[in-house]
A and B are shown apart, each in its own frame.
Chain A
């Protein structure tokens, strides 16, 4: 087999893994958009905030340490404990649920029935607020996140491919774990949406708020639930990216990469978010590998957007978006 093809296969797999992470962020967007029609600009910051909280809790950081020290003249930093990852994750999930409740209670409860653009602007405000809150609570330095996920080259794949192609593929263990977790997460979300009472109510709310209200579904409850689930998804995405490249501000920018994923997959489709993520992940890596050298590289920055734009022209609802049902 020619070397070029073998490299391309390796690039393909790496792209697939990167795509999983895009998909995870996109999934958070889809959940909230589907249930409430809100495009949540803060999804990326939620991932950052969740990852920061997780590190903070595990390392026993004192929240608002700077503020406390400045006001009281004390010198507190750490509680002096190191918690196991599971405890950290569970407490972070609780924090995200409280956050969901607050967001609903303080912001969106008062904006029921407003124009989508106003809801969107509210989420921009929320994004910057959470960014500041995260920095104030846990400090703004780059943090290392280690919840015990395996990292580094997968030797088994390396060896197996070496025996076949005479060339060992470099595939990161973390990427494999991320893929498995993402698949599990998506599977359970789909089952939840399709087969449980609350999931059905969530889809009903997405279709028609008023009608859902009229059959006794509490919009408040559904929205808090959806924001909590989106918070959980953000946490998972935050753990993956944080483990890979440290918990830092740039983590919140992956939200921008989720935009073309959403355009591709459709704003309302959970499977769409996944497939869209994979297509973008694989597409941009392969394009960079095959076409990049010809046109001077750095195609990864714009490839996803151009692809999404092209698709929008031909299929505005995305690949998997719900068909707009219109009866005349």
Chain B
């Protein structure tokens, strides 16, 4: 809100980073991206493209997996954050929701949410208010607040993980693969909530997603990663219309979406014609 100038518009800037695991495995080969304040930025690509690694490089969770940023730099609000602890980043407003939910299984849903507020210095009242806010977005969680998170469904765990991140009062949420293992309807519901959190609370999102179709409908801007490099980026609406993206990521050709039968008949037609 106070940042009107051009160079402050990007909250987060990743500049040409290279990540190596275990000193030998080169995973990111120079990834650059900008995350503008108040937007939803999508990081797309298939398995092993480097989406999760990029998010973990930003949130500094790489270290515990023996990964290391060896080149390039990452800045948040203009400050270098490559060497800050995850806890410091959470205090600065950057929190990650990890792939595969990672709820605390033996804690109740409510305890999970409260753990999200661990770094907050403001008192009980503010935390209670935010708990209500989270329950407002996820009424399902309110019903299950007393059950152990390990016994809740996959969708509820994803909600719990996002809610837990919201409890830290973040400015930016790094959301890793929210659609993983969920029914299409539930995926839609979760993205709907992400959108309303973005609009109502002004939280900036950087989300890694394999489900290109859904992600591009909700995001404002997208980056496409392929084996550790950004191969394409642009406004989400442009990417949606891009013929290559359509063909390789959305499963559509010029003639629109095809079913498997059409693919077969297409092949047959091709044989006849040639």
Question: Complex: how many Å from CA A118 to CA B164?
Answer: 33
Q: Quick one: which of A203, A206, A213, A216 contacts B64, CB cutoff 8 A?
A: A213
Q: In the complex, are the beta carbons of A211 and B118 less than 8 A apart?
A: no
8 Å CB contacts to B: which residues of A191-239?
197, 200-201, 203-204, 206-218
Q: Does A327 contact B (CB under 8 A)?
A: yes
Q: Does B146 contact A (CB under 8 A)?
A: no
With a CB–CB cut-off of 8 A, which chain B residues contact A213? 61, 64, 86-87
Question: Complex: how many Å from CA A210 to CA B89?
Answer: 15
Question: Complex: how many Å from CA A215 to CA B168?
Answer: 8
Contacts A113-B64, A208-B102, A325-B151 given: A214-B59 contact, CB under 8 Å? yes
Question: Complex: how many Å from CA A218 to CA B61?
Answer: 12
Q: In the complex, are the beta carbons of B86 and A214 less than 8 A apart?
A: yes
Task: Return the CB mask of B83-103 against A: 1 if under 8 Å, else 0.
Answer: 001110111000111100011
Name A211's closest neighbour in chain B (CB-CB).
B102
Name B154's closest neighbour in chain A (CB-CB).
A327
With a CB–CB cut-off of 8 A, which chain A residues contact B86? 213-214, 216
Question: Complex: how many Å from CA A200 to CA B116?
Answer: 11
Q: Does B244 contact A (CB under 8 A)?
A: no
Q: Does B106 contact A (CB under 8 A)?
A: yes
Q: Does A112 contact B (CB under 8 A)?
A: yes
Q: In the complex, are the beta carbons of A207 and B95 less than 8 A apart?
A: no
Q: In the complex, are the beta carbons of A204 and B102 less than 8 A apart?
A: no
Contacts A204-B115, A207-B106, A325-B105 given: A215-B164 contact, CB under 8 Å? yes
Q: In the complex, are the beta carbons of B165 and A215 less than 8 A apart?
A: yes
Q: Does A166 contact B (CB under 8 A)?
A: no
Q: Does B107 contact A (CB under 8 A)?
A: yes
Contacts A210-B102, A214-B102, A217-B118 given: A200-B64 contact, CB under 8 Å? no
With a CB–CB cut-off of 8 A, which chain A residues contact B75? none
Question: Complex: how many Å from CA A325 to CA B107?
Answer: 12
8 Å CB contacts to A: which residues of B139-164?
148, 150-151, 164
With a CB–CB cut-off of 8 A, which chain A residues contact B119? 215-216
CB distance from B203 to the nearest CB of A (A): 15
Q: Does A159 contact B (CB under 8 A)?
A: no
Bin chain A's interface residue count. 20 to 34
Q: In the complex, are the beta carbons of B114 and A216 less than 8 A apart?
A: no
Question: Complex: how many Å from CA A213 to CA B119?
Answer: 11
With a CB–CB cut-off of 8 A, which chain B residues contact A197? 114, 118
Q: Does B21 contact A (CB under 8 A)?
A: no
Interface of A is mostly: helix
With a CB–CB cut-off of 8 A, which chain A residues contact B61? 210, 213-214
Q: In the complex, are the beta carbons of B64 and A207 less than 8 A apart?
A: no
Question: Complex: how many Å from CA A214 to CA B173?
Answer: 11
CB distance from B206 to the nearest CB of A (A): 14
Name B174's closest neighbour in chain A (CB-CB).
A214
Q: Quick one: which of B66, B95, B106, B114 contacts A214, CB cutoff 8 A?
A: B95
Q: In the complex, are the beta carbons of A203 and B106 less than 8 A apart?
A: yes
Q: In the complex, are the beta carbons of B64 and A215 less than 8 A apart?
A: no
With a CB–CB cut-off of 8 A, which chain B residues contact A203? 104, 106-107, 111
Q: In the complex, are the beta carbons of A218 and B107 less than 8 A apart?
A: no
Q: Does A322 contact B (CB under 8 A)?
A: yes
Task: Return the CB mask of A244-282 against B: 1 if under 8 Å, else 0.
Answer: 000000000000000000000000000000000000000
With a CB–CB cut-off of 8 A, which chain A residues contact B79? none
Q: Quick one: which of B98, B105, B118 contacts A207, CB cutoff 8 A?
A: B105
Name A209's closest neighbour in chain B (CB-CB).
B64
CB distance from B197 to the nearest CB of A (A): 17
CB distance from B90 to the nearest CB of A (A): 3
The residue in B91, B150, B165, B168 that gathers the most chain A C-beta atoms within 10 A of its C-beta is: B150
Q: Does B7 contact A (CB under 8 A)?
A: no
Question: Complex: how many Å from CA A209 to CA B87?
Answer: 13
29 inter-chain pairs at a CB distance below 8 angstroms, sorted by A residue, are A113-B66, A197-B114, A200-B107, A200-B114, A201-B115, A201-B118, A203-B104, A203-B106, A204-B111, A207-B104, A207-B105, A210-B61, A210-B64, A210-B102, A211-B103, A213-B87, A214-B86, A214-B98, A215-B115, A215-B164, A215-B168, A216-B86, A216-B87, A217-B87, A217-B115, A218-B85, A218-B87, A325-B150, A327-B151
Q: Which 8 A-B pairs have the closest CB atoms?
A: A216-B90, A325-B150, A211-B102, A216-B119, A207-B104, A216-B87, A204-B104, A204-B115
Q: Name 16 extra pairs, CB < 8 A, besides A204-B104, A214-B59, A215-B118.
A: A200-B115, A200-B118, A203-B106, A203-B107, A208-B105, A211-B103, A213-B61, A213-B64, A213-B86, A214-B90, A214-B96, A215-B116, A216-B87, A216-B168, A325-B148, A327-B151
